[in-house]
Structure 1
Amino acid sequence: MATKKSQETTPLDGDEAPVKLDEVLSKLGAFGKHQMITMCMLALVYATNSMYNVNYVFAVEDVNYRCKVPECESAGSPYIVPWLNASSPHLEGPKQCLQHPPLSAQCHTFNTSVLRECQEWAYEIPNSFVAEFGLACEEWKPPLVGTIHSFGSMIGLLIQGQISDRFGRKTAAVFAGTMGAVLGLTKSFATSFWLYLVFEGLEAAIGDALSPMFMLSIEIVEKKRAVLFQMILLNCYTIGQIIMPFIAWGVPYWRNFLRVIYAPTLIILTYSFFLDESIRWLFSKGKKKQAIKLIEKIAKRNNVKVDKTLINKLDYIDEDSSKVTDRKLLIKTFRSRIMLQRFLVCMVWWFTITLINFGMMISSVLISGNKYLNFALLIMMDIPANIFYWLALSKYKRKLPLIGSFIVGGIFCVSQPFMPKGYAWIGLALFMAFEMLATFSYNIVYMYTSELFPTYTRNSMHSICSAFGRVGSLLAPQTPLLMTYWTGLPALIFGLTSLLSGFLTLFMPETAKTQLPDTIREAEVIGKRSVIKYDPAKESLKGT
């Protein structure tokens, strides 16, 4: 709702000082008609994207199987043949499985010393992913889907960041969202495991619209409203993940499950007509006329008035300077010692949060009980984490909450393996508390990273950090294997990486009370005690 204050025309002081964009965005309001329409469009992307990142947990589910025994398959057979799976101790090698002894013996009396290659398989769920592609005794193949998705996301983030910074947030988001829907639906018709794997990788690489949409969401409102705006969208992301297991429960056939979750995002193609570009990005590219026209459109839609003199004095990069190539801008960003140091710390942050969050998510479906409810209950812990994220950042800025969450979470995780076995409930409580803190840290890192770099390379730098973080998600599926050496080893590794990230955060600047930097010089002075007056004339983009 537009306030009375924002409806009034605000005169500008007589000085010639350039006006910062946040001053204009504050007059446009944070929850006017324009912002609410945009938020609804963003909410669909957030909710569906959360399903796309981990749908393989249910689509590529593990099922029991055994060698097919014709004499025991007929209806009304009095014999019971035990089901096996990839973790069965009787499986001693690929394509080797228990087979029945001589036909004179009963089918349920397996002779464990009799092993031979199976010619045909029977599956407990005949229309499952594993059954349709014949993956019995090839236990390495189903987890490969998640690994390929993470690898595709890592490559895709680098691509999306470049597209977003060069062609705009809107263009990148519409392209990625549409391709994600098309490729997601296409993989539901895959006729072989390897073809499915190709579509999975392509979808992750070019069909992830979350990164450009996130940039659009934080650039659409003034800085002090960005956290609240993001908290609402993060809850949409969480709700999508909570709904997903119930869709999988209600639509158990994996092909139909994929079609149900991917079909709604075909509507993203229409965003090219209704979604507006980021005003901040337009100014960073020297597109002043388009940016002013958009400001006037938003003001009219929100029924507010903004002084044209104020708009005309907006500080922006001029047309000539903006013609420098995106590659040179990225190189210049890395040449800055301060930017490079921040980038290295951000990479450690992202590695830590993806390793922990994906590791926790994988652990949730291994817990005994209903896997759909277990997954939903674990993800529900993200809702209070999202609300806590908003409240903490509103009061305690960025740096202190992130340090606290990393260090406290690390202590919880390191302590968990050493809890007395007679007090298992304490270990479970620490596990759930660590999940909340992990989500809390993830949210802060997502926001914090975007505030440390200049507008013209913001999405690229954010995407590179996020892409490196995907190494953590690649390693996460392998962490349960460490339990063969010591059951507490995964938790200990999670805790130590969290403590390291908390320590490194001490060297990062506070960004809460600063405007989003548009140039490297503006970004470099963030957090410095002495206020350095910014002179746009000194920000040369041509000498890179």
Structure 2
Amino acid sequence: MSKDSPIGLDTILKQLGSFGRYNIVNYALLLFPIYLAGMYGSVFVFEASDINYRCQIPECESYNSSLWLTNAIPKEKDTLSKCTRYHFRENNVTGACDADSFDRDVIEKCQSFVYEDEDSAVRDFNLGCQNWKRTLVGSIHNAGLFISLPATGIISDKYGRRVALSIASLMNGIFGLARSFSPNYFTMVTLEFLEAALGAGAYSTAFVLAMELVGPKGRVFGNTLINAVYVLGLMTLSSLSWWFQSWRVLLRVIYAPACLVFSYLWILNESVRWLISKGRNYEAASILRKAAKMNKVEISEELLSPLYELDKKIDTDDGIKTAEENNVANKKSNLLQVIKSPIIRQRVFVCSFLWTTCTFVYYGLSINSVSLAGNKYVNFMLVGLVEIPANFICLLVLDRFGRKKTLIITYLLSACLCISLSFLPKDHKWWALILYLSGKFSITVAYSSVYIYVSEVFPTNARQSLLAVCSSLGRIGSTLAPLTPLLALYYQNLPSIFFGTMALVASFMVFSLPETINVPLPDTIEEAERISKTPKEYA
């Protein structure tokens, strides 16, 4: 038995093969909730999308012709104002809604609106000229992640990945479906928050389970596959939104399948690495034997025998303890060890900032893409589509150049591309789209790298809890991202400048982190700290 891993689990996983039949079946099961998460994370973009509307002019609406509109409504940037109108003269005699019927020196706020025949919560709940309410839907959704990610992480680390994934997915289904029947704005945003607060942890749980399913050599490919399926969910969301043209029908179609994931309580295998960390070694050995049988490989008894021995007794620095005693001791000390370790504290801080930057830029670019010139559904699909080659670039560069170099370069590139948008003339629409897609490409590579990096620098007995902490703090970015379209009302390129500045700072912070290429997943706090102290021994 090695020091690094008491039972040589990475050696067993290597012998099983990264993607045998067992891995493929379990990965297929995990990819389904990940595919759904791709839709759930951005559904608010189409649920409460901005639509065309104008001020209602009660005095003139009975006229069949719309020629009077220019007499009643002022222009802003060559288009009729959405939120203001001219004062209708009270002493108007003709009532013809001609130029003399309105006092152009007096501009009033609109009291009611006429909406075009486009479906959105903006029309259903009369949110005309209340952009803050429209963008708040996305912020409230992402604010729910501050609760769901740490709560799901705690449940996952204490009761198992399978339990956390099943419950979170069921919550997605229940509250997502309920939201489609919202009678008013308050009900919709309340259910939006509850769905995210209780169900958004499904993605991170499925991700951790997938990362623990394979050995070091299979993690990057597994991460690439996960991200590609997530992108497929994004593109499906845009396609379904375009097809149905009804946000209520859209919600019912995409959230109903989430309830099926609850069956994973009975059909999905628990994480072997988690079972071992909890001292449930007989269960772990049983799953490994099942995996070996499905993969048609033989696992030597020399590798499996420590699992049965550890179920009875575990050698520690304090003497021999039973697995149950050791498990209780670990539960009490995990959080204290994390708090006491300055190395882990620093990683949590830096990784949280990197995650914040990724979510802010990633979701910010996706959300603002619908305001680009052209079809909003096509633009959203293009911004999603560019993530597929970005994830395959991750597959090529992460294991070749390492995690640090990849993160530094992609953050820096993303910063340059986003800031460049602010210097581009307005009439260069195609160049703007190219820079926009390139910026999304680079931040996607960074986001994919951060996900896999964070799963590699924290120990098994606290991995999802710490990943949840980083992800939760990182959701500050995704919470603020839906509000960035409001910045464009003051200066069109202000969102891009914010995105670029954040990415530039993040690129410098990566220098303080250790390299984790080809490093076995640490199972204890000590092993996690050792990555920083002696990184070369794993190369």
Q: In the alignment, is residue 39 of structure 1 matched against residue 27 of structure 2?
A: yes
Q: Which residue of 1 aligns with 2:149?
A: 157
Q: Where in structure 2 are there 5+ consecutive unaligned residues? A: 315-322
Q: Which residue of 2 aligns with 1:142?
A: 134
TM-align CA RMSD: 3.1
Q: 1:392 to 1:85 in 2, by over 3 A?
A: farther
The answer for the alignment partner of 2:520 in structure 1 is 515
Question: What is the aligned partner in structure 2 of residue 64 from structure 1?
Answer: 52
Where in structure 2 are the equivalents of 1:405-420 lying within 5 Å? 405-418=410-423
Residue 345 of structure 1: how far off its partner (Å): 0.9
Give ranges in structure 1 of 5+ residues lacking alignment. 1-11, 534-544
Give the alignment partner of residue 400 of structure 1, picking from 405, 409, 412. Answer: 405
Amino acid of the structure 1 residue aligned with 2:530? V
AA aligned to 2:25 is I
**Distance in 1 (alpha carbons) for counterparts of 2:74 and 2:128:** 8
Give the Å deviation of 1:138. Answer: 2.6
Matching residue of 2:240? 247
Task: Please state if 1:352 is matched with 2:340.
Answer: no
Bigger Cα displacement from structure 2, 481-490 vs 348-357 = 481-490
Give aligned-pair identity as a percent: 36
1:67-113 per-position Cα deviation (integer Å, ceiling 9, x unaligned):
55568666x92345659899988566xxx766766584445768355
Match for residue 128 of structure 1 among 120, 131, 147: 120
Paired residues of 2:272 and 2:288 also in contact (CA < 8 A)? yes
Maintained 8 Å contact 1:231/1:386 = yes
> What's the CA shift string for 1:108-142, capped at 9, x where partnerless?
76835566676754321375322222223333211
**Residue 273 of structure 1: which of 221, 241, 266 is its match?**
266
In the alignment, the residues of structure 1 paired with residue 526 and residue 330 of structure 2 have an alpha-carbon distance, to the nearest angstrom, of 18
Q: 1:30 is paired with a residue of what secondary structure?
A: coil
Q: How far apart in 2 are the matches of 1:347 and 1:235? A: 23
- Verify the 8 A CA contact 1:65 1:85 in the aligned structure 2: no
Q: For the Cα contact (< 8 Å) 2:46–2:120, is it kept in 1?
A: no
Aligned counterparts of 1:215 and 1:32: Cα–Cα separation in 2: 19
1:86 and 1:177 map into 2 onto residues whose CA distance is 48
Q: How does 1:31-430 map to 2 (within 5 A)?
A: 31-68=19-56, 77-79=64-66, 82=69, 90=81, 104-107=94-97, 111=102, 112=104, 121-125=113-117, 128-208=120-200, 209-314=202-307, 318-324=323-329, 326=331, 328-418=333-423, 426-430=431-435
Task: Decide which structure has greater helix share.
Answer: 2
Structure 1 residue identity aligned to 2:484: T
Whether the aligned pair in 2 keeps the contact of 1:66 and 1:98 (CA below 8 Å) is no
CA distance in 1, matches of 2:45, 2:192: 13
Query: What is the distance in 1 between the residues matched to 2:427 and 2:241?
Result: 36
Aligned partners of 1:367 and 1:374 also within 8 Å: yes
Counterpart-to-counterpart distance in 2, 1:389 and 1:331 = 35
**In 2: Cα distance, 1:530 partner to 1:65 partner:** 59
Task: Give the secondary structure class of the aligned counterpart of 1:258.
Answer: helix
Deviation at 1:528, TM superposition (A): 3.3
> What per-residue deviation string (whole Å, max 9, x for no partner) do you get for residues 416-444 of structure 1?
43457786755543332221110000000
Q: Letter of the aligned partner of 1:496 in structure 2? A: T
1:313-343 deviations in whole A, cap 9, x for unaligned? Answer: 2597733121147474123212101111111
Which of 413, 436, 441 is 1:436 aligned to? 441
What is the distance in 2 between the residues matched to 1:294 and 1:99? 75
Give the partner amino acid of 1:474: T
TM-superposed CA distance for 1:415, in Å, is 3.8
SS at match of 1:306: coil
Amino acid at match of 2:16: L
Aligned partner of residue 114 in structure 2, secondary structure = strand
CA distance change for structure 1 residues 71 and 412 in 2, over 3 Å: closer, same or farther? closer
1:441 aligns to what SS in structure 2? helix
> What's the counterpart of residue 26 of structure 1?
14
Superposition deviation, residue 494 in structure 1? 2.2
Mapped to 2, the partners of 1:307 and 1:186 lie a distance apart of: 51
Residue 465, structure 1, aligned to residue 458, structure 2: no
Task: Provide closer, same or farther for how the CA distance between residues 141 and 23 of structure 1 changes in structure 2, counting only shifts above 3 A.
Answer: same
SS at match of 1:464: helix
Per mean C-alpha deviation after superposition, the further-off stretch among 428-437 and 409-418 is: 409-418
How big is each residue's C-alpha offset from its partner over 1:15-64, in whole Å with a ceiling of 9 and x where there is no partner?
9x944101111222222222111122112111111111111111112223
| Partner Cα distance (1:253, 1:488) in 2 | 31
TM-score (norm. length: structure 1): 0.87
Tell me if structure 2 keeps the 8 A contact 1:149–1:201: yes
TM norm structure 2: 0.87
**CA-to-partner distance for each residue in 1:511-537, whole Å, 9 max, x for gaps?**
12111011000111014338889xxxx
Identify if the C-alpha distance between structure 1 residues 425 and 373 changes in structure 2 by more than 3 Å, giving closer, same or farther: closer
The alpha-carbon distance between structure 1 residues 86 and 444, as it changes in their structure 2 partners (threshold 3 A), is farther
Output the amino acid matched with 1:494.
Answer: F
Say which is worse superposed, 487-496 or 113-122, in terms of deviation: 113-122
CA deviations on 1:254-290 (whole Å, 9 max, x unpaired) are: 1101111111222101111111110000001111111
CA shift in 2, pair 1:181/1:381, >3 Å = same
Tell me, in whole angstroms, the C-alpha distance in 2 between the residues paired with 1:85 and 1:476: 31
1:169-213 alpha-carbon deviations (Å, 9 max, x no partner): 110000001110111001001111101111000000111200110
Residue 431 and residue 476 in structure 1: after superposition, are their counterparts in 2 closer, same or farther (change >3 A)?
A: same
Q: Deviations over 1:379-417 (max 9, x none)?
A: 111011010011111212212211221223223333443
Count of equivalent residues? 516
320-329 vs 468-477, which moves further: 320-329
Q: 2:317 maps to which residue?
A: none
Distance 1:345 1:59, change over 3 A: same
CA contact (8 A) 1:90 1:98 kept: no
Q: Which amino acid aligns with 2:23?
A: Q
Q: Which amino acid letter does the alignment assign opposite residue 205 of structure 1?
A: A
Q: Quick check: 445-454 or 22-31, which moved more?
A: 22-31
> What CA deviation, in whole Å up to 9, does each residue of 1:429-479 have, x standing for no partner?
333222111000000000101111111111011111111111112222333
Asked whether the 8 Å contact 1:66–1:85 carries over to 2, the reply is: no
Q: Secondary structure at the match of 1:295?
A: helix
Q: Which amino acid aligns with 1:123?
A: Y
Q: CA, structure 1 residues 234+126, in 2 after alignment: closer, same or farther (shift >3 Å)?
A: closer
